[in-house]
Structure 1
Amino acid sequence: MLRSCAARLRTLRVLRRQPGDARLPGSQPGSGKLRSFSFEDVTEKDQALPKPSWSKDLRLLFDKFMKKCEDGSWKRLPSYKTSYTTSTIQDIRAFFSGSIPLKEELMSQARLFTRSFEDGLGFEYVMFYNDDEKRVVCICQGGLYLQGPPGFLHGGALATLIDITLGTNAMVAGGPVMTANLDISFKRPVPLCSVVVINSQLDKVEGRKFFVSCNVRSVDEQTLHTEGTGLFIKLEPGKSLI
């Protein structure tokens, strides 16, 4: 399953330029790790901030984690619908040896799947990470267009949220990655428009392989909805994807 590499790379760049932040793995000069991409700044709304479509539970959890960010132990991850500039596309093509299968005019219209719905109808989510603990927490709300069984979130929608959470955890730890494997066990269905918390952690690293696991719980933590594990592979500069 291919990851949204450009969106991940952009998130990494934003994180690395935050004032006062320690450099993330892969950003040290001369380290031999992945360089930071020279994306042009694009004026675009950060989608990981409170909106009118957010429920009370989502806002309360957001405030709770923002409080944790005050001492620097946790950081909020920005998220965008993604507007690609010409410079962005050139950087990505150079990294992947020109293997992007779309022309630039089509790439400029591309949007991150999870940010392509109108507010409140699709995926509403925000992620926070703790670098010391190698953890990423995603608080999320599934909208009316993500229904599976009547009144419940589609399993594929939840799998998407798990994929981006686990993948983001691997990305923060080691740079751009792609999903190699996901193993998801659904325990209890998630009511549509409710809020759940995806708690993920990096379990181990073996070379370019990043092993990550998570659980999905209700806001009160009393209901275990889903458990999942993932294997992510760190991308190599200059290696074609196709």
Structure 2
Amino acid sequence: MLRSCTAGLRSLWALRGGREGVPRLSTDLQPAPRLFSAEKVIHTDCALPNPSWSKDLKLLFDQFMKKCEDGSWERLPSYRHRSTQISEDFKTYFLEQKPVKEGRLSQVRLFTRGFEDGLGFEYVIFKNNDEKRTVCLFQGGPYLQGIPGFLHGGAIATIIDTALGLCATVPGEAVMTANLNINFKRPVPLCSVVVINSQLDKLEGRKLFVSCNVQSVDEKTLYSEATGLFIKLDPEKKSF
């Protein structure tokens, strides 16, 4: 798997003028600074296969797409920029407390989708409403490195928060993270694929309790376990 990732990186280096065996990640592969440009936003679904996806990720994707055929599972689309309606919901909830310039709000992008293909968070999430659970297929790119050869713990925490948060939205409510507890069992190899199984454990008023585990593709290695508490947003209260 790591060989596959390395081969993909060599292709990227070659396209950008690098020589094989001489990585230049800190310069040549730096994402273009587009965050505050005036370019037109193109809404591309990032939760679909692209050339950076490994064979393991593509295989798992195909398997879950077959599960979607009978309607029991659903693939969740994911975009670099949030939809207008979602942005309006959060603006209604927060702006009276902490004003944000309109120009900034229109130009921001989702943190986990802020990297070029293959360099950061590559993932797709499938949900099962009846079972109140989600499955996240995740491949962490070279820009997420912590100790050499492994993903940064913060990157793992980020994708866990994303997976649990989307699982908490299965009942159909906008939520925010109130508490997140993670037990790191083993480090995750850089560019490998992991499967994050999340489930909604309990619902108490506006509180949603969820949990998940992070496993290898063959389910033989447990990398992390986590629990989270999410709160349904109540626009009328303007607070948690």
Contact 1:184–1:229, Cα closer than 8 Å, also in 2: yes
Q: How many residues align?
A: 200
Q: 1:130 aligns with which of 128, 133, 139?
A: 128
Supply the distance in 1 between the matched residues of 2:82 and 2:211 (Cα, whole angstroms). Answer: 30
Aligned to 1:69: 68
After TM superposition, list the pairs within 5 Å mapping 1:88-167 onto structure 2. 89-90=87-88, 92-96=90-94, 98-99=96-97, 101-167=99-165
Calculate the TM-score normalised by the size of structure 2: 0.78
Aligned to 1:169: 167
Give identity over the alignment, percent. Answer: 69
After TM superposition, list the pairs within 5 Å mapping 1:230-241 onto structure 2. 230-241=228-239
Contact 1:174–1:234, Cα closer than 8 Å, also in 2: no
Mean Cα deviation higher: 231-240 or 120-129: 231-240
Contact 2:120–2:140, Cα closer than 8 Å, also in 1: yes
Contact 1:94–1:238, Cα closer than 8 Å, also in 2: no
Mean Cα deviation higher: 147-156 or 172-181: 172-181
Aligned to 1:24: none
Aligned to 1:210, what secondary structure does the other structure show? strand
Cα deviation per residue 1:112-154 (whole Å; 9 max; x = unaligned)? 0000011100000000000000001000000000000100000
Aligned to 1:216: 214
Aligned to 1:140, what secondary structure does the other structure show? strand
Supply the distance in 1 between the matched residues of 2:199 and 2:107 (Cα, whole angstroms). Answer: 33
Cα deviation per residue 1:212-239 (whole Å; 9 max; x = unaligned)? 0000000000000000000000000233
- Deviation for aligned residue 1:92: 3.9
Supply the distance in 2 between the matched residues of 1:214 and 1:116 (Cα, whole angstroms). Answer: 24
Supply the distance in 1 between the matched residues of 2:212 and 2:230 (Cα, whole angstroms). Answer: 14
- Deviation for aligned residue 1:91: 5.1
Contact 2:82–2:110, Cα closer than 8 Å, also in 1: no
**Where in structure 2 are there 5+ consecutive unaligned residues?**
1-40
- Deviation for aligned residue 1:178: 0.7
Calculate the TM-score normalised by the size of structure 1: 0.78
Aligned to 2:21: none
Between 1 and 2, higher relative CO (CA 8 Å, sep ≥ 6) is seen in 1
Letter in 2 for 1:50: P
- Deviation for aligned residue 1:98: 3.5
Contact 1:96–1:239, Cα closer than 8 Å, also in 2: no
- Deviation for aligned residue 1:84: 6.1
Contact 2:165–2:230, Cα closer than 8 Å, also in 1: yes
Aligned to 2:37: none
**Where in structure 1 are there 5+ consecutive unaligned residues?**
1-41
Aligned to 2:5: none
Aligned to 1:193, what secondary structure does the other structure show? coil
Aligned to 1:173, what secondary structure does the other structure show? coil
Return closer, same or farther for 1:88/1:216 CA change in 2, 3 Å cut-off.
Answer: closer
Supply the distance in 1 between the matched residues of 2:82 and 2:137 (Cα, whole angstroms). Answer: 24
Contact 1:58–1:139, Cα closer than 8 Å, also in 2: yes
Cα deviation per residue 1:173-208 (whole Å; 9 max; x = unaligned)? 241011010110000110000000000000000110
Mean Cα deviation higher: 164-173 or 191-200: 164-173
Letter in 1 for 2:123: Y
Q: 1:188 aligns with which of 180, 186, 189?
A: 186
Contact 1:84–1:108, Cα closer than 8 Å, also in 2: no
Aligned to 2:18: none
Letter in 2 for 1:63: D
